[in-house]
Structure 1
Amino acid sequence: MEIRSERPADVVAICELTTLAFKNTAHGSGTEALIVERLRAAKALAVSLVAIEDDELVGHVACSPVTIEPDQPDWYGLGPVSVRPDHQRLGIGQALIHAALDELRNLEAAGCVLLGDPGYYHRFGFASDAALTYRGSRSRYFQRLFLRGTSATGDVSFHPSFDD
């Protein structure tokens, strides 16, 4: 499997893959492909990586800037993470997440946040943190990972592309 940056020729396949990956999930909103398209159009895809296996696109991960009030720069949101359903549970998502976090470190990101299953994302070092809220409230599903530095406090907003 190869993990590389998105190329213009990948855009349609990323949209199709993301739609398919979230189609029958309990946690999907059905807007994940649109979110990626909006992030791309807004030039807010700080990281956009694809997984290629046998010349087919089988996975994608996106990272985009987030806002933390009061102002704390260099934080990013992870997601969506998409893996073709027939390739799930084979380590592709995990490899994409590790690669995305490495890219954020190369960007000298202070940290990364996400909304996701704590049981899954704990393996990457993500944890809930009472000092960070999402839309003014705390949730065990809202998690952070420090990449540089050790503290962040405030309310986090994802890029407006995530707004329905």
Structure 2
Amino acid sequence: MHPKVVIRGETAADVDAIREVTVSAFKTLEISSHTEQFIVAALRAAQALAVSLVAEVDGRVVGHIAFSPVTLSDGTRNWYGLGPVSVLPEHQRQGIGKALIEEGLSRLKGLKARGVCLVGHPEYYKKFGFKNAPGLVHEGVPPEFFFALSFDGQIPQGTVTFHEAFHAKGQEGAGND
């Protein structure tokens, strides 16, 4: 990782930079619906960002990660969704995303979270201990792209529903897009 990377909680002054980082990070991804910046804004507006961290290099925000509560159909509580996670393209593949994920997971454990789930690339998230969890699904997502990481050794069974902010298509909470 870049030696001058600082990982810290987001502040109100970071909102515009987070939006720019998120737009840039997902701009060329074909699998993206390019609504990630609206999701982050809607999570923030709903006060559903349980953990929201930025990565700074030389005082500039170059990365962001969000964690928000999820609902599990079996009634299990204290599980969270990871995402989106964004790093400016020119700073990718330098360990910044990894540092954001590791710090975010650590902070969730401090909040007594029981686990985290996400939709993402299999090769990337497995290195953090995320696994496909038979019996735990997110409707509309192929099982090979849906992952869970339990902090207490228990994997819930049923359907995961991410916060309604994940349906944001534009301007929710942003006000300027």
Q: TM-score, normalised by structure 1?
A: 0.97
Q: Taking CA–CA contacts closer than 8 Å with sequence separation of 6 or more, which of the two structures ends up with the larger relative contact order?
A: 2
Instruction: Determine the C-alpha separation between the residues in 1 that align with 2:142 and 2:160.
Output: 11
Task: Quote the residue 1:4 is aligned against.
Answer: 8
Q: Which moved more, 1:23-32 or 1:135-144?
A: 135-144
Task: Quote the residue 2:69 is aligned against.
Answer: 65
**Does structure 1 conserve the Cα–Cα contact (< 8 Å) formed by 2:74 and 2:156?**
no
What aligned pairs does 1:112-151 form with structure 2 within 5 A after superposition?
Answer: 112-135=116-139, 139-151=143-155
> Equivalent pairs: percent with the same residue?
49
**Could you list the per-position Cα deviations for residues 39-67 of structure 1 after superposition, in whole angstroms to 9, with x for gaps in the alignment?**
00000000000000011001000000000
Instruction: Determine the C-alpha separation between the residues in 2 that align with 1:39 and 1:80.
Output: 11
Unaligned stretches of 5+ residues in structure 1: none
Runs of 4+ in 1 over 2 A off after TM superposition: none
Measured on the aligned residues, the alpha-carbon RMSD in Å equals: 1.1
Name the aligned partner's letter for residue 115 of structure 1. Answer: V
Task: Quote the residue 1:52 is aligned against.
Answer: 56
**Could you list the per-position Cα deviations for residues 14-53 of structure 1 after superposition, in whole angstroms to 9, with x for gaps in the alignment?**
0111011100012221100000000000000000000000
Deviation of 1:148 (Å):
2.1
Deviation of 1:116 (Å):
0.4
Deviation of 1:110 (Å):
0.6
Deviation of 1:86 (Å):
0.4
Name the aligned partner's letter for residue 6 of structure 1. Answer: E
Q: Which moved more, 1:83-92 or 1:21-30?
A: 21-30
Q: Which moved more, 1:40-49 or 1:140-149?
A: 140-149
**Could you list the per-position Cα deviations for residues 67-114 of structure 1 after superposition, in whole angstroms to 9, with x for gaps in the alignment?**
000211000000000000100000000000000100110011010000
Task: Quote the residue 1:157 is aligned against.
Answer: 161
User: Could you say if the C-alpha distance between residues 137 and 61 of structure 1 is closer, same or farther in structure 2, counting changes exceeding 3 Å?
Assistant: closer
Unaligned stretches of 5+ residues in structure 2: 169-177
Deviation of 1:149 (Å):
3.7
Name the aligned partner's letter for residue 93 of structure 2. Answer: R
Q: TM-score, normalised by structure 2?
A: 0.90
